[in-house]
Amino acid sequence: MRKVCSALPSYKLACFATLLLAGMAQASDTLYVESWRTDDANIWSDTIIPAFNKHHPDIKIQFSPTPPTDYNSALQAKLQAGSAGDIITCRPFDASLQLFDSGYLEKLNGLKGLEDFSDVAKSAWVTDDGREQFCLPMASVIHGFIYNKEIFEELNLTVPKTQDEFFKVLAKIKSESRYTPLDMGTADQWEAATMGFQNIGPNYWKGEAGRKGLIDGTAKLTDQAYVDTWKELAKWKPYLGRGFEAQKYSDSQNLFTLGRAAIYPAGSWDIQTFNNQADFEFGAFPPPVLKQGDTCYISDHTDIGMGINAASKHKEAAKIFLNWMASAEFGELFANAVPGFFPLSNHSVAIKDPAAQTFISWRQQCESTIRNSYQILSRGTPNLENQLWNVSAQVINGTMTPEQAATETQQGLEQWYGPQQ
């Protein structure tokens, strides 16, 4: 450009102005977003960024994701080298807390957008004492059960609300049809813990009360609530498919989308897969409660947050963007673009996907909590989350009793966690 300018002296002034403008545009705020959600690149460029630019055309956003498995280490390296983007997508709990403690993440206390979030939603990105907030909650995933509506109609079943009804439904599917009643395997182990234990557990340990109890040491994993959770898991065994011990997560998904299984213990992220692959209608119900009229609890697990790089030169612009992300408008855009990932703000958002709509409606009827092993409790050796995978899979396989599972995990926790000693 400079060459062009000097070659045409008569336009020098105009040229100068153009250069100045170009320079200004460059100095103006382009925010780079670090993320592991490579799947969402199109949603950002086609939906989220244009919507934001309608309000703030002066702030440019560039979404630059890294593959999920590389994200943590790549981000760490970039932050150390000072080349990381302005906005950082935050993993929940310890991974981000470590970044904050090392001084890489900006403290967000006082950010206006934060007022629109509940404490449960914010809990994944605060310091242990609850004082300092370092990321804005962005999305969560909810656990429950997804069922095949056609099979339910065929066998004349109603959606179970209590556990008795749940097991009656399972027994009826098993005796009256060749469908797999409950579609889950234990080969990968994490389903047993995540779709099993963390899915039905909150009803037993009363959600947040029980989770906080474990953290402050007033509750133990050997308490009745936890033993009962594993007891219910043990009761699943006869209703699982043949050879469920070798059934992998992808097998379970395929079994359901092929219409060969009736009920699928789910995470809401499965909705996207099922929408693409299943040619029947499916619905969802929350984990059944013990007795009719009991308060229900759901696992509404915080999964994605947004923070600001402490070394960013555009913190003000980044804060404007984060505040916009807290708005109802963003919530609605995001929830509809990625069904199964739910915005965490308190605004009511209209979701078009019917299954996702059901999932998010539970927030009104039930109390939300997050997976109990994620905050603080999986920092030591032995690692509680790994233990939960192992014992939950074993309880379902029938190679371990619920009491043994409780004793083993509690002993593990007592070895390193002060409040439990």
Out of 66, 89, 247, 253, point to the residue binding other proteins (CB under 8 A).
Answer: 247
Q: Is 65 left (phi over 0), alpha (psi -120 to 50) or beta?
A: beta
Out of 187, 215, 328, 337, point to the residue binding other proteins (CB under 8 A).
Answer: 187
Nearer to other proteins, 133 or 372 (CB): 372
* Window of 185-193, 205-213, 276-284, 326-334 that interacts with other proteins by CB under 8 A: 185-193
Q: Which residues lie below 8 Å from residue 57, measured CB to CB, with a gap of 6+?
A: none
Q: How far is the CB of 251 from other proteins (least distance, A)?
A: 6
Q: Give yes or no for residue 177 binding other proteins (CB under 8 A).
A: no
Q: Give yes or no for residue 291 binding other proteins (CB under 8 A).
A: no
Out of 36, 44, 71, 93, point to the residue binding other proteins (CB under 8 A).
Answer: 93
Other C-beta atoms lying within 10 Å of the C-beta of residue 4:
10
What is the 8-class DSSP label of residue 113? Answer: G
Nearer to other proteins, 215 or 290 (CB): 215
Give the whole-angstrom CA distance, residue 75 versus residue 104. Answer: 10
Q: Give yes or no for residue 198 binding other proteins (CB under 8 A).
A: no
| Structure-token pair, residue 74 | 């790549």
Q: Give yes or no for residue 379 binding other proteins (CB under 8 A).
A: yes
Nearer to other proteins, 188 or 294 (CB): 188
Q: How far is the CB of 224 from other proteins (least distance, A)?
A: 25
* Window of 171-179, 279-287, 299-307, 391-399 that interacts with other proteins by CB under 8 A: 391-399
- CA–chain centroid gap for 189, Å, is 18
Give the whole-angstrom CA distance, residue 93 versus residue 363. Answer: 22
As a 3-state breakdown, the chain gives helix, strand, coil percent values, each rounded to 5, of 55, 15, 30
Q: Give yes or no for residue 66 binding other proteins (CB under 8 A).
A: no
Nearer to other proteins, 108 or 400 (CB): 400
HSE of 21, CA atoms in CB hemisphere, 13 A? 7
Give the whole-angstrom CA distance, residue 327 versus residue 345. Answer: 8
Nearer to other proteins, 18 or 383 (CB): 383
Give the whole-angstrom CA distance, residue 154 versus residue 308. Answer: 52
Q: How far is the CB of 416 from other proteins (least distance, A)?
A: 9
Closest CA to 234 of 387, 388, 401: 401
| Structure-token pair, residue 216 | 């402050």
Q: Give yes or no for residue 189 binding other proteins (CB under 8 A).
A: yes
Out of 74, 190, 269, 407, point to the residue binding other proteins (CB under 8 A).
Answer: 190
Per-residue contact string for residues 102-141; x = within reach of other proteins by CB under 8 A? x---------------------------------------
Q: Give yes or no for residue 248 binding other proteins (CB under 8 A).
A: yes
Q: Give yes or no for residue 242 binding other proteins (CB under 8 A).
A: yes
Q: How far is the CB of 236 from other proteins (least distance, A)?
A: 15
Q: Exposed/middle/buried for 239, CB within 10 Å: 0-12, 13-18, 19+? A: buried
Q: Give yes or no for residue 150 binding other proteins (CB under 8 A).
A: no
Closest CA to 370 of 143, 176, 45: 143
| Structure-token pair, residue 155 | 């066998």
The DSSP string of 118-143 is: -HHHHGGGB-TTS--B-SEEEEEEEE
Residue 90's beta-bridge partner residues?
305
Phi first, then psi, for residue 8 (nearest 5°) are: -120, 80
User: How many residues form the binding site for other proteins (CB under 8 A)?
Assistant: 38
Out of 87, 219, 320, 393, point to the residue binding other proteins (CB under 8 A).
Answer: 393
Q: Give yes or no for residue 236 binding other proteins (CB under 8 A).
A: no
Out of 132, 165, 245, 329, point to the residue binding other proteins (CB under 8 A).
Answer: 245
Nearer to other proteins, 232 or 408 (CB): 408
Other C-beta atoms lying within 10 Å of the C-beta of residue 83:
10
Out of 390, 409, 410, 420, point to the residue binding other proteins (CB under 8 A).
Answer: 390
Closest CA to 200 of 238, 173, 171, 160: 160
| Residue ranges binding other proteins (CB under 8 A) | 93-94, 102, 185-190, 241-248, 251, 255, 373-374, 378-379, 381-386, 389-390, 393-394, 397, 399-400, 412, 415
